[in-house]
Amino acid sequence: MGERNLHSKPFDEGTLVKLDLFRFYIREWLPVFISAKKIYWRTLNIYDFFAGPGQDINGIKGTPLIILEELKPYYDEIEKKQIIVNLYFNEYDVEKFQELESILFQKIAGLPIKVETDSLEFSESFSKKYGSLKGSDKANLLFFDQTGVKQINVTRFKTIISLPRTDFLFFISSSTVKRFVDHPGIAKHLKLNKKEVELTPYHKIHELVLQFYKSQVPKEKEYYLAPFSIKKNAGLYGIIFGSNNVLGIEKFLNSAWRIDSERGTANFDIDNDNILPGQIDLFTGEVQKPKKIEVFEENLKSKIKNGTLKSDKDIYLYTIDNGMKISISRNIVNLLIKEAVMKKEKFDLSNKVCKKNAWITKVTLQ
């Protein structure tokens, strides 16, 4: 794929999708911590461990410059509220690192943020910064735009998910997993089931990779993970997002649905729905829906009807867990009320129902 030389030519479409997803997420993340009425987390750490030189050959912004651009509207608030914003950029390639530093340092003079840079091998850089991510007054956003698959191995993944108040996105070349599942260099880092990998079609491989990481989360731990599959040149890549907070995953899903308005999960027709925008279903006379949404709606209806989902909180979490938009579930709830399947109540399908001592409304079937 030539990721090492990614910046010596214009970013390709897949890279632009990845960067958009990152931008949309940081745009959702920043106000949660900076614009909150009460500031609980005084230190915000935004660390980019595979930073690149800052931009591509045409000056299209890479992750470091996207971070700066998204922070721009908040500088007054950061100063006024005395929030400490630490940015950290690591890039091991010396040439790219020098380019990054020269771009960064002319942009950050006088800004109310702290910027640290390193040119280290990732493992060294991660070990160096790990301690600074701990602490109850810190909120962390970590970006691991690795080349290939090896850096976010199982051990490192477990270390990352054990950090409090930490959201992360990592990039992974999922098709490498499919092609080289047996290769000792891959198997050493990610122990996927060979049979399952073989049975999974190429375009679904990133979702299988997500299931693998999900299986590594300790059973008792509340943790949220979501995928976004990216077709890029001849390969299948993806983002995996992780958060220990339900608001984090909701914000990631908002970002993903902004890019994929049909299914919220890929930059291509991952379920081979072959739907043309606005296409009418011949049988129902309605605009055709992607299979993923149809299946979700049917499952949601039957889980409400059979009493598996007992409250607005259950419905909210089921929606998030399935990577769906809240508006889809809201429509189903309204439909079931209209059909007199459930009693009309003030259901709150928002992350508020997950807060401590939140008011939970029970579903009453009629």
Ligand X SMILES: C[S@@+](CC[C@H](N)C(=O)[O-])C[C@H]1O[C@@H](n2cnc3c(N)ncnc32)[C@H](O)[C@@H]1O
**224-232 β-sheet, strand order:** 114-118, 84-90, 43-48, 138-144, 166-172, 235-243, 224-232
Q: Which stretch binds ligand X (CB under 6 A): 91-99, 198-206, 215-223, 350-358?
A: 91-99
Q: Which stretch binds ligand X (CB under 6 A): 1-9, 153-161, 261-269, 357-365?
A: 1-9
Contact call for residue 3 and ligand X (CB under 6 A):
yes
Contact call for residue 51 and ligand X (CB under 6 A):
yes
- Of 24, 41, 74, 122, the one binding ligand X by CB under 6 A: 122
- Of 91, 167, 250, 312, the one binding ligand X by CB under 6 A: 91
Give backbone dihedrals phi and psi of 163, rounded to 5 degrees, phi first: -75, 135
- Binding residues among 132-151 for ligand X as defined by CB under 6 A: 145, 147
Are 254 and 28 in contact by the 8 Å Cβ rule? The answer is: yes
Contact call for residue 250 and ligand X (CB under 6 A):
no
Distance CA 216, CA 204 (A): 19
Beta carbon of residue 140, minimum distance to ligand X (angstroms, whole number):
17
Residue 88's DSSP bridge partners are 47, 116
x/- track of binding to ligand X for residues 147-176 (CB under 6 A): x-----------------------------
Contact call for residue 9 and ligand X (CB under 6 A):
no
Nearest residue (CB) to ligand X, 177 versus 353? 177
- Of 12, 20, 77, 93, the one binding ligand X by CB under 6 A: 93
Contact call for residue 14 and ligand X (CB under 6 A):
no
- Of 63, 174, 267, 351, the one binding ligand X by CB under 6 A: 63
Q: How far is CA 111 from CA 41, 48, 251, 259, in A?
A: 20, 19, 27, 31
Contact call for residue 70 and ligand X (CB under 6 A):
no
Contact call for residue 74 and ligand X (CB under 6 A):
no
Contact call for residue 52 and ligand X (CB under 6 A):
yes
Contact call for residue 129 and ligand X (CB under 6 A):
no
Closest CA to 158 of 189, 200, 195: 189
Are 55 and 61 in contact by the 8 Å Cβ rule? The answer is: yes
Antiparallel, parallel or unpaired: β 138-144 and 224-232: unpaired
Nearest residue (CB) to ligand X, 169 versus 353? 169
Burial label, 300 (beta-carbon count in 10 A; 0-12, 13-18, 19+): buried
Distance CA 337, CA 363 (A): 10
- Of 25, 41, 50, 347, the one binding ligand X by CB under 6 A: 50
Going by C-beta distance under 8 Å and a sequence separation of 6 or more, which residues neighbour residue 336?
A: 301, 304, 305, 342
By CB under 6 A, name the binding residues for ligand X: 3-4, 6, 19, 50-52, 62-63, 90-93, 96, 121-122, 145, 147
